[in-house]
Amino acid sequence: MKKPTFGPMLLAFALFCVVLFIPSRFLLPLIGEQKVNDASTSLKKDMFQGIALQQKALEDPKYLPMYGSSEFSRLDVYHPSNYFKVKNEEFTPFLIGRGGTQSLTHVLNLASSMDQLKDRKIVFVLSPQWFEKQGLDEVHFAPNFSSQQAYHLIFNNELKPEMKKQIANRLLSFEIVRKDTLLKTSLEGIVYDDTKHKVKAAVAKPFAYVYRNILDRKDLVTSMFDIKPRKTHTDPELKSLAWNDIRNRAEKTGKAESQTNPFGIEDPYYDQKIKDKLKRLKGYRANESFEESPEYDDFQLVLDILKQEHAKPLFISVPVNGPWYDYAGFPKERRDVYYQKINDQIKKAGFPVADFSSHEYDKYFLKDTMHLGWKGWVYVDEAIQQFYENN
């Protein structure tokens, strides 16, 4: 009877361990350049909640990372991803964000690739509606939450301890985080200084490490095979036009696409979400304010990470639709409090901000009540180009 040979089994186990425990950065070359380019406009959840494709983009100077939320999905011809494709600039916008994304989600994104942020130009688009009184809620946080990025936070030794503790504590306020016992235990070990939590976190740490690596490998496979680009909508005629001419063209586009209402809102949005409820919506935001919100503390974490890593961000302050917010009972003086507060917060951190709050009543600057479109994107495109060339 032949003696069993364990060589192949041991070799297979050794290879498995190598693949599982080798630092993820060494595996990034497996992701092709075309996949990174596809990911720049994909807005796919797997890319946004992963790490590999974002790290690949950050290591390539031709990509300009843009952090934001649902405005990115409105890919008309004036959108940065389409406009700069026509202009053949030296950079390609790489979109990181989707509907419901707010500062805390981006904190995890940024913390996952901190060492690549040094001297890195990025663009960060701010939306006023993030700063509602209750701040980020479970409904918007849960679909965008990345377990992979949260597990990376546990092992992030670059973050200042107090900042790491603040992020961990904030994450624990969400049910989707608390439901993951391993993650919850690990984060509590960061937040609490008592022996009980420290011991439990120490016991959990090896398991958290292995699970993080498993999530990294899954992310790698997804990045290699599952990312598809979104369909582009370009207008070649924009290439030769001056900025004022492009703005005039965008205004004509906006006028043609928003003829059903006096608010400059695109027709499909108005017809589907507002038209039949217009009378009921008058004054419906009378008791709202953007003055106080947990979002300001979450946003400060974004600023602190970028400052710590000496990144070079440009912040875009997007206005709301002035005529609509007036109709909804949210007066301009209350809105101005937010614009001033967010500007002061950014400038205190020493970063530039492209403030477009004066365009609240500029028709066709927004496509609906709050999202950039048409003329708005043209102004943003110009600000991005100046920022890229002059900083």
pTM of the model: 0.92
Question: Residue 93: what pLDDT?
Answer: 96
Q: What is the pLDDT of residue 3?
A: 52
Greatest CA separation found in the chain? Answer: 90
Q: Given this model, what pLDDT does residue 391 score?
A: 66
Report the C-alpha gap between 310 and 300 in whole angstroms: 15
Give the pLDDT confidence score for residue 45 in this predicted structure. Answer: 85
Note the pLDDT of residue 9. Answer: 44
- Please name which of 30, 118, 110, 16 lies closest in space to residue 67, comparing C-alpha atoms: 110
| Model pLDDT, residue 13 | 40
Contact (Cβ atoms closer than 8 angstroms) between residue 107 and residue 301: yes
User: 360 near 320, Cβ under 8 Å?
Assistant: yes
Amino acid type, 315? F
Domain ranges for the chain, please list them.
7-390
pLDDT in tens, the chain (391 residues): 455 554 554 444 444 444 455 566 657 778 888 899 999 998 888 888 999 999 999 999 999 999 999 999 888 999 999 999 998 888 999 999 999 999 999 999 999 999 899 999 999 999 999 999 999 999 999 999 999 999 999 999 999 999 999 999 999 999 999 999 999 999 999 999 999 999 999 999 999 999 999 999 999 998 888 788 888 889 999 999 999 999 999 999 999 999 999 999 999 999 999 999 999 999 999 999 999 999 999 999 999 999 999 999 999 999 999 999 999 999 999 999 999 999 999 999 999 999 999 999 999 999 999 999 999 999 999 999 999 998 6
| Residue 321 DSSP SS3 | coil
Q: What is the DSSP string of 28-96?
A: GGGS-HHHHHHHTTT--HHHHH-SHHHHHHHTSTTEEEEE-SGGGG---TTSHHHHHHHHT-S-EEEEE
